[in-house]
Amino acid sequence: MTDLGLWGIPIAMLGGALRVSVPFLFVSLGECITERSGRINLGLEGVLVFGAMAGYAMSYKTGNAWLGIVAAALAGTALGLLHGLLCSLRRVNDIAIGIALMLFGLGLAFFFGKPYVQPKAPMLPDIALGGWSPWPAVRAALDVSPLLLIGIVAGFALNYAFRSTRWGLHVRVVGDSADAARALGLHVNRIRIFATAIGGGFAGVGGSFLSLAYPGSWNEALSSGQGLMAIALVIFARWRPLACLGAAFLFGGAGAIGPSLQAAGISSGYYLFNAAPYVLTLGLLIATSSPRRKLAGAPGELGRQT
Amino acid sequence: MRLGLPVASLVVAGLLFGLFILAVGRDPLAVYALIWRGGFGSGFAWQNTLSRASPIILTALAVAIPARMGLIQIGGEGALALGGLAASLTGIAAGSGSPVATQALMLIASMAAGGAWIAAVGALKHYRGVNETISSLLLAYIAIALFNHLVEGPFKDPGSLNKPSTRPLDAAVMIGSIPGLDVHWGLAAGVVLCLLAGFVLKHTRYGFALDTIGANPRVALLAGLPVGPAIVAGCFAGGAAAGLAGGFEVAAVNGNANTSLIVGYGYTGILVAFVARHQPLAILPVALLFGGIGASSGLLQRRLDLPDATVLVLQGVAFLVILAADPVAEIVGNRLRRSAA
């Protein structure tokens, strides 16, 4: 009993979705923290790719993939910090800084990453969660990366932090009303810089998944825009960390439909499946926006010029 | 003073980039010299620079015009791709019977496609309250997916194996170069449109209306201005410029539509528009500068064996420094004044 027939397609899709969704998960959690503090970081694409390069390089140099993940987190935090600091200046547009950061991050990643395109770095080993199953397809689908588990735990931890910790409350107050935060004696810029730096760290880890787990190599075409789409994910998730898990899985699933259909011999419509979540997000925005009020769940300070 | 700050911030960006080059163990002076030579040092360099500047000018206009109404749209990359595709399909359909008519149709089609795409962003903003930055980003992604689907599917040239493309245009309908410059006509179109946009924004009622909407949409409504149609029209104009950039890349450079259209001109255009403070006339020198930096990439690679991403680092540093220059100058100015008093 090793052939699952047509069941192979959804199982392969599930496995694909579990893999493809990890970078989405980390960038969306990172962007979620940043946006809850009242700022948008559009530069996570550059942060993600820089993190992917830093992680791969560190893993190659030290022979330890986990040190690579740490390096990616630090690299991402550094770029996030840069965004946070620059946006604390008055009358600086966070969108423009974000796009400039994207170019800068991509530039740094490609500049320093050139020598690492050829050599093979140690990969992060998977955890076999499917050992109970007699079917190889199921076992293959349930070979999950430890980063997936870390991402899920991080989602729950963030949800708890936003709800029930002083730190989460501070970020939320700063994001909803800078004036109220100041009245409470909070340092608005300091909290936003911190939130943007942490957000960058998450995106860096998301990038290291691309280079150290799946697809598991470093080259200049590694990312397919996962960082750029962090914004869409966070809107889709309504700025809630737990919903980010669902959104990442949905976006990852849509990305996995194409390859599994291709494996089943259906090759057209690949790009349209990939774009489906963006159409869905746009539809959701159109359906729920109104010219007279902000989106439900959106932090009050988002998009406000300082 | 108005020119002093941009020049000073460029000098600072250059110095920071020099430190970066020094830190990786190279000679900054040699790199500066090669960037100058590769971007502006010869006729060939200028030709390369101007060819790169022309799509950037047009995609920057696509950001600058809506920005005057307070709309930050960032979907130029998608409008450019669709404009290029529209030009290619129109050129194939129209044939080469009357080259001039076909060329005109291609450019009109590219403007219509790009214009409609960004006009939708403006309409969604005004009539539904959808945030224009996010909707334009989503629409750009959707446009590029649609582009890839059509280029690799229904409109694929069966002969294009390695790089799926639309069928090539007939050589007779390709748009030529500006005589004496050897740069395609897209550059002239960009310059003319910047001059036109500068004039319209500064000296006409429509321009005044856009600036009023940008300053305060509610006041504009109370003053009886047709805010909705003005926003949609302004966004259409911007999108048409980005679409035209794609149209020229297809009809004057590549001859067919494929992924070589999607190389980030849209994103560079956003930053150029911000650096130019959304002033159409200021777009021209800024686009020239960043076109020149891009053009020097090949020379840096060949002569110094530096990665081609070197210029990307310089562009990133320059954009970050220039965007942050204004408030930093203000802070420094205040400190100086306080210490003098």
The token duo for B297 is 């990439």
In a domain, A304, yes or no: no
User: Which whole-number Å values give the CA distances from B126 to A285, A286, B59, B232, in the listed order?
Assistant: 14, 12, 22, 8
CATH of the domain at A145: 1.10.3470
DSSP string, chain A: ----GGGHHHHHHHHHHHHHHHHHHHHHHHHHHHHHTT---TTHHHHHHHHHHHHHHHHHHHS-HHHHHHHHHHHHHHHHHHHHHHHTSTT--HHHHHHHHHHHHHHHHHHHHGGGSSSPPPPPPPEE--TT-S-HHHHHHTEE-HHHHHHHHHHHHHHHHHHH-HHHHHHHHHHH-HHHHHHTT--HHHHHHHHHHHHHHHHHHHHHHHHHTSS----TT--SSTTTTHHHHHHHTTT-HHHHHHHHHHHHHHHHHHHHHHHTT--TTHHHHHHHHHHHHHHHHHHH-BTTBPPTT--TTTT---
- For chain A, what is the domain count? 1
CB contact under 8 A, B74 and A91: no
> Are the Cβ atoms of A99 and B127 closer than 8 angstroms?
no
Q: Pseudo-torsion of CA A16, A20, A25, A28, nearest 10°?
A: -140
User: In this complex, is the C-beta atom of B181 within 8 Å of any C-beta atom belonging to chain A?
Assistant: no
Q: Is B127 on the interface with A (CB under 8 A)?
A: yes
Counting Cβ atoms within 10 Å, is residue A29 exposed (0-12), middle (13-18) or buried (19+)? buried
Q: Give the per-residue pLDDT at A304.
A: 64
A301 found inside a domain: no
Task: Specify which of A196-200, B312-316, B323-327 reaches the highest per-range mean pLDDT.
Answer: A196-200
Specify if A232 maps to a domain. yes
Tell me the CA distances in angstroms from A293 to A288, A302, B120, B227, B254, one per residue in order.
10, 13, 20, 18, 46
Residue B292 main-chain phi, psi, to 5 deg: -65, -40
Which single residue is written with the structure tokens 């679409």? B243
Q: Is A291 on the interface with B (CB under 8 A)?
A: yes
Q: What is the pLDDT of residue B2?
A: 65
Structural domain contains residue A151: yes
A97 and chain B: CB distance < 8 Å anywhere? yes
Check CB contact under 8 Å for A92 and B324.
yes
CA-based nearest distance A107→chain B, Å: 5
**CB within 8 Å: A96 and B141:** no
pLDDT at A88: 94
Q: How far apart are CA A110 and CA A187, in angstroms?
A: 36
Question: What does the pLDDT read at residue A180?
Answer: 94
Tokens of B169: 């245009």
Model pLDDT, residue A116: 95
**Omega of the bond leading into A10 within 30 degrees of 0 (cis):** no
Q: Which chain A residue is nearest to residue B142, measuring alpha carbons? A: A275
Helices (runs of H) and strands (runs of E) counted in chain B:
14, 0
Q: How many CB pairs under 8 A join A and B?
A: 148
Residues B58-101 have pLDDT tens digits of 999 999 999 999 999 999 999 999 999 999 999 999 988 899 99
The partner residue sitting opposite B134, judged by closest CB among A96, A109, A231, is A231
pLDDT at B214 over 80: yes
Q: Enumerate residue ranges in chain A where pLDDT < 50.
A: 1, 305-306
Contacts of A115 (CB under 8 A, 6+ apart): none
Could you tell me if residue A297 is inside a domain? no
Contacts of A266 in chain B (CB under 8 A): none
Is A118 in CB contact (< 8 Å) with chain B? no
- Rounded distance between C-alpha atoms, residue A190 and residue B87, angstroms: 50
Range of the domain at A173: 5-288
Contact residues, A window 150-179, toward B, CB-based 8 Å cutoff: none
Among left, alpha and beta (phi > 0; psi -120 to 50; other), residue B23 is: alpha
Question: Which distant-in-sequence residues (6+ apart) come within 8 Å of B103 by Cβ?
Answer: B173, B175, B251
Tokens of A117: 């395109």
pLDDT of A2: 53
Of B307, B320, B330, the CB nearest to A86: B320
User: What Å distances lie between residue B198 and A89, A97, B61, B64, CA to CA?
Assistant: 29, 25, 10, 10
Chain A contact present for B126, CB below 8 A: yes
- Whether pLDDT at B1 is above 50: no
**Interchain pair B126, A100: CB under 8 A:** no
User: What pLDDT score does A3 carry?
Assistant: 62
Q: How far is B150 from chain A (nearest CA, A)?
A: 9
pLDDT at A169 (0 to 100) = 96
Q: In Å, how far is A174's CA from the nearest CA of chain B?
A: 21
Query: What residue in B sits closest to A101 (Cα-Cα)?
Result: B316
Average pLDDT for residues B287-305, to the nearest whole number? 93
Among B72, B137, B307, select the one facing A114 at the smallest CB separation: B307
- Rounded CA separation B204/A57 (Å): 56
CA distance B126 to B228: 6
In the structure encoding, which two tokens stand for residue A260, read together? 């599994």
Question: Given its phi and psi angles, is residue A189 left (phi above 0), alpha (psi -120 to 50 degrees) or beta?
Answer: alpha
Q: Is residue A77 part of a domain?
A: yes
- CA angle, B154 then B100 then B149, to 5°: 15
pTM of the model: 0.92
Nearest to B316 by CA among A224, A77, A110: A110
CB A84 within 8 A of CB A194: yes
The secondary structure element, H or E, covering residue A127 is strand A127-128
Q: What secondary structure does DSSP assign to A179-194, as a single string?
A: HHHHHTT--HHHHHHH
Residue A143 φ then ψ, to 5°: -75, 95
Structural contact between residues A173 and A37, judged by C-beta atoms closer than 8 angstroms: no
- The structure tokens listed for A209 are 């998944």
- Residue A234 in domain: yes
What is the structure's pLDDT at A12?
77
Q: What is the DSSP letter of A144?
A: E
Rg (CA), chain B: 21
Q: What does the alpha-carbon distance between residue B322 and residue B324 come to, in Å, rounded to a whole number?
A: 5
Distance from CA of A94 to the nearest CA of B (A): 10
Is residue A303 included in any domain, yes or no? no
pLDDT (0 to 100) of residue A285: 86
Does the distance separating the beta carbons of A95 and B313 come in below 8 Å? Answer: no
**A221 close contact with B: CB closer than 8 A:** no
Average pLDDT, integer, range B133-145: 93
Mean per-residue pLDDT for B239-268? 95
